[in-house]
Amino acid sequence: MFLHDEAYRYGLTGFVLVVGGIALIVAVLGYAQHQQRRGEFGLGLLTVSTLAVIGGAGYLLAGILREGVKLSV
């Protein structure tokens, strides 16, 4: 019932999740590349960068799944 009544909003949140996931991945990789040029690329930055990319991939996957549910209804 909810998906029929609010399909636009549900799809819009899926789109926002996809864009947010891509933006997070691009921002983290850009920041890590910037820090690597300065020579300050330690284990902590590598760990945080890896976790942030995994988080961005999670947002991306959640948005894709949400868009898939919207299309199947």
Residue ranges in the chain modelled with pLDDT below 70: 1-4, 40, 70-73
Structure tokens at 50: 């890896």
Tell me if 5 is assigned to some domain: no
Range of the domain at 18: 11-72
Task: Count other Cβ atoms within 10 Å, centred on residue 9.
Answer: 12
Determine the pLDDT at residue 23.
Answer: 96
Tell me if 35 is assigned to some domain: yes
Tell me if 1 is assigned to some domain: no
Give the chain's domain count: 1
Determine the pLDDT at residue 71.
Answer: 59
pLDDT by residue (tens digit) across 46-65?
Answer: 899 999 999 999 999 999 99
Tell me if 19 is assigned to some domain: yes
Burial of 14 from C-beta contacts in 10 A (0-12 / 13-18 / 19+): buried
pTM: 0.80
Tell me if 3 is assigned to some domain: no
Tell me if 6 is assigned to some domain: no
In one-letter notation, the amino acid at residue 51 is L
